Chain A
Amino acid sequence: MMSLEARAVRHEESEPASVLETQSLTRRFGSLIAVDNFTVQVKGGEMFGLVGPNGAGKSTVIKMLTTLLPPSSGNASIAGYDILNHAPDVRRVIGYVPQLLSADGSLTGYENLLIFAKLYNLPRNERKERVQEALDFMGLAEVADNLAKTYSGGMIRRLEIAQSMLHRPKVLFLDEPTVGLDPIARTTVWEHIEKLRDNYGTTILLTTHYMEEADALCTRVAVMHLGKVVAIGTTTALKESVGPNATLNDVFVHYAGYELESGGSFRDVSRTRRVAQRLG
């Protein structure tokens, strides 16, 4: 109890307050260091991007922050709750859209949302209203009673984002939100993510290996390579630091000393294709 109060006081003192802070967050798998001393601070209402190729450690960071994976060392706090000692509290104040498809295809869009409204303790008398609001917000009202497996890839992603927003989380984690989507669906999803931040002031942390996505959406990004943060800052500042007319791609190549490839390991490719196939 004491530590909570202490933390709250510290938040009031620091200006502006960080909603998400990590301290040397590290995760090892055997001898592999998947995430190495990850330290960032994300302010309220910020759209923060973790960029880097497959295998850079982005998803591992998200798994640790969403309490799915315990860190090997280090800690993080979200809205004042630390992920090691207050995991259940952390779960109440965050929303999460996994990279994999997480909507249930054998339920309707409405049911997908209703079940999560119940799991997140939305008051009984507000449930229907909030579900309807989420459906309207994501442009899914007309297909609410169709099974989710009949949805297009972009619609499924919007449904999943709606699910993760029902309880108005302080921080929303989006892991590769547009992987496997066609360009039009991608733009629609981007628009909805921006609308979300504008309307609800949600702090969003997203991962992507599409540099143009990070450029379009994020105010600040951390460039990750082989588990390490190699650069961090606003997209504009990072581009300027590399040279005139530099793109985020150039930023990445500059800081990681590594050419971006579309490759990735067999596992990454098969996973991406599987997602793409189900979305298709």
Chain B
Amino acid sequence: MQHLRLRYALWSVYDFVAKTMTIAELEARKLHHDPTELVTRAVQPALWILIFGEVLAHAQAIPTGNLPYLDFMVPGILAQSVLFVAIFYGIAVIWERDLGILHKLLVSPAPRAALVLGKALSAGERGLVQCAIIYFLGLALGVRLNPNFFAILGVLLIAVLGAALFSTFSLIIACVVKTRERFMGIGQILTMPLFFASNAIYPIAIMPQWLKYVSEFNPLTYQVDALRSLMIEGSASVYGLGFDLAAMLVGTAILVVICAHLYPKTIN
């Protein structure tokens, strides 16, 4: 009996991973058929770095310690561009509900959490492309990027995790509001506070006290902290890489569980 239970548990884990990867594969195949979205998504981070970044670097208005301002903000812009991809991701579930694709997925034997996590990881696929763009821009502008293989691997991992976290958050909002119009409105409201109440383009140290408290509850802060320490030479993590990673993993897990619960309710 014990033995059977263990085998069932192992099989469940395998099944969950396999189904998650299938959903991620589905999205990857769609991207492969129509990659135009990836190109247009490259524009915004480029503008932020080339215009906002260059201007503020010249103004020397923001104290970033031993890092040049551009070096400081490039990981922040990576986090931002991944956030922007992820935060509107939930609209996909509204779209699929309207089409009937969601109905068919929910009737399949795939665990609901796998449907959610697979979707979240597919936002990560787009996040990976953002990494490539930002690394390219960083190189071109002479940012001191850390060339260590494992550091780069770490950056990719954190970007995927960040995309998964915020896209799951976005899916939850979509499950709650249920219509495209309301969703777009809320997405707009959320992006800017998440972005500005973080260490993406200025250090937490220069924030007013109340905003410091807010930023500590903002997952983007930990994502940026991890990205910065891994991506830029001579930069150190403020909260510790382990804490950053744990905060994001726990955050994602909680959101996936909530979303898996709400997912089937979207269709009624």
- Interface of A with B (CB < 8 Å)? 63, 66-69, 88, 91-92, 94, 96-104, 106-108, 111, 115-116, 118-121, 147, 160, 163-164
Given A111-B29, A118-B18, A68 contacting B98 (CB threshold 8 A)? no
Known: A88-B109, A106-B34, A107-B30. A118 touches B104 (CB 8 A): no
B268 contacts A by Cβ under 8 Å: yes
Contact A115 B26 (CB under 8 A): yes
Task: Encode contact with A along B97-108: 1 for CB under 8 Å, 0 otherwise.
Answer: 011110111111
Distance in Å: Cβ of B24 to nearest Cβ of chain A: 11
**B108-134 interface with A by 8 A CB criterion:** 108-110
Determine the distance from Cα of A14 to Cα of B108 in the docked complex, in whole angstroms.
Answer: 30
Bound together, the chains give a CA A92 to CA B264 distance in angstroms of 17
Query: Are A92 and B109 CB-contacts (below 8 A) given A98-B100, A98-B103, A100-B103?
Result: yes
Number of A-B contacts (CB under 8 A): 73
Q: Are A98 and B104 in contact (CB under 8 A)?
A: yes
| Residues of B close to A116: CB separation below 8 A | 108
Distance A104 CA – B92 CA, assembled complex (angstroms): 12
Query: Roughly how many angstroms separate A63 CA and B100 CA in the complex, as a whole number?
Result: 12
- Which of under 10, 10 to 19, 20 to 34, or 35 or more describes the interface residues of B? 20 to 34
A26 to chain B, nearest CB (A): 16
Inter-chain contacts of B101 with A (CB < 8 A): 102-104
Contact: B103 with A147, CB < 8 Å?
no
Q: Which residues of B contact A107 (CB under 8 A)?
A: 26, 29-30, 33
Beyond A104-B30, A107-B30, 18 additional pairs, beta carbon < 8 A: A67-B107, A68-B107, A91-B107, A91-B108, A91-B109, A98-B100, A99-B100, A100-B100, A101-B99, A101-B100, A106-B34, A107-B26, A107-B33, A115-B29, A119-B19, A119-B110, A121-B15, A163-B104
A164 in contact with B104 given A68-B264, A68-B267, A102-B99 (CB within 8 Å): yes
Between A69, A106, A120, the greatest number of chain B beta carbons within 10 A of the residue's beta carbon is seen for: A106
Q: A115 to B108, alpha carbons, bound, how many Å?
A: 11
Contact B99 A119 (CB under 8 A): no
Residue from the set B19, B25, B103, B106 with the largest chain A CB neighbour count within 10 Å: B103
What are 27 A-B interface contacts by the 8 Å CB criterion?
A63-B268, A68-B103, A68-B267, A68-B268, A69-B268, A91-B108, A94-B107, A96-B107, A98-B103, A100-B98, A100-B100, A101-B100, A102-B100, A104-B30, A104-B101, A106-B33, A107-B30, A107-B33, A116-B108, A118-B18, A118-B19, A118-B25, A119-B22, A147-B33, A160-B104, A163-B104, A164-B104
